[in-house]
Amino acid sequence: MPMQEDAIRRSYRRWAPVYDLTFGRITQGGRILAARHVNLQGGSVLEVGIGTGLALEFYGPHVRVTGIDLSEDMLREAEARVRRRGLRNVDGLYPMDARAIAFPDASFDHVAAMHIMSVVPEPERVLDEMVRVVRPGGSVLIANHFAGRAEGWSLAERLAAPLADWLGWHADFPIERVLGHPGLRLEESRQVRPFGLMTFLRFRRVETAGKT
């Protein structure tokens, strides 16, 4: 069952003050890999579901960063981080539903979704929007926990599945839901430290019939 918006907002209202010290620490590996790729390529990046802005300080000053998130509680934490760190390469942080991203087609060189695909309602629709707003040849970067990818964690995934609305994410989310999009070519897939719990995926935006 997809998570509903009110459940997501309630969950992340609870997590916002402590997210950096809990989930944040075990999910940093994917953010670092995404930022490293973006820094090498340069240009602009949209972070979908930017949360408290944990990745912001990993981007080089030459990268223009925009972030969106459904949770205004999380965005307030991200805004505080920008002020505290004096980050001048952040173009804006906006409350926004990732199923209807309010930017024109091909607006960004890169789009990143760090640990949100198993959170959002209708992840396939979110992926469609990510593909739409990235330029042809640009990167779509996804880090997430996917069911069955981390050796020895299958039982924990099954036990956590009924708690999805309380936890704020689906532990049993299958990787197939983000693979096979006609506008994307998978170029990198790797398990991320610690524990290999998370997977980092790097896609290239490709041309499709009748579109660029």
- Note whether residue 122 is domain-resident: yes
Residue 205 to residue 184: CA distance in whole angstroms:
5
Range in 132-141, 168-177, 184-193 the model is least confident about = 168-177
Residue 174 to residue 61: CA distance in whole angstroms:
35
Model pLDDT for residues 162-175, shown as the tens digit of each residue: 334 434 444 678 89
CA distances from 143 to 79, 85, 207 (A): 22, 24, 23
- Note whether residue 137 is domain-resident: yes
22 vs 113 pLDDT, higher one: 113
Instruction: Say which residues have a Cβ less than 8 Å from residue 67's Cβ, sequence separation at least 6.
Output: 46, 47, 50, 53, 56, 75, 78, 90, 92, 93, 94
Confidence class of residue 153 from pLDDT cuts 50, 70 and 90?
very low
Range in 48-52, 65-69, 131-135, 191-195 the model is least confident about = 191-195
- Note whether residue 211 is domain-resident: no
- Note whether residue 212 is domain-resident: no
CB 46 within 8 A of CB 59: no
- Give the pLDDT score at 19: 52
Find the CATH number of the domain harbouring 178: 3.40.50.150
Counting every residue written for the chain, the total comes to 212
Torsional sign, CA 82, 119, 39, 93? negative
Region 118-137: mean pLDDT is 95
Residue 89 has pLDDT above 50, yes or no: yes
β-bridge mates for residue 211, sequence order:
208
- Note whether residue 33 is domain-resident: yes
Instruction: Give the total number of structural domains in the chain.
Output: 1
- Note whether residue 196 is domain-resident: yes
Measured from the Cβ of residue 210, the count of other Cβ atoms closer than 10 Å reads 5
- Note whether residue 15 is domain-resident: yes
Residue 140 has pLDDT above 90, yes or no: yes
Evaluate if pTM is beyond 0.85: no
**23, 4, 43, 20: which is closest to 145 by C-alpha?**
23
Chain mean pLDDT for the chain:
82
- Note whether residue 210 is domain-resident: no
Confidence class of residue 25 from pLDDT cuts 50, 70 and 90?
low
Q: Which structural domain range is residue 83 located in?
A: 5-205
Residue 78, classified by CB atoms within 10 Å of its CB into exposed (0-12), middle (13-18) or buried (19+), is buried
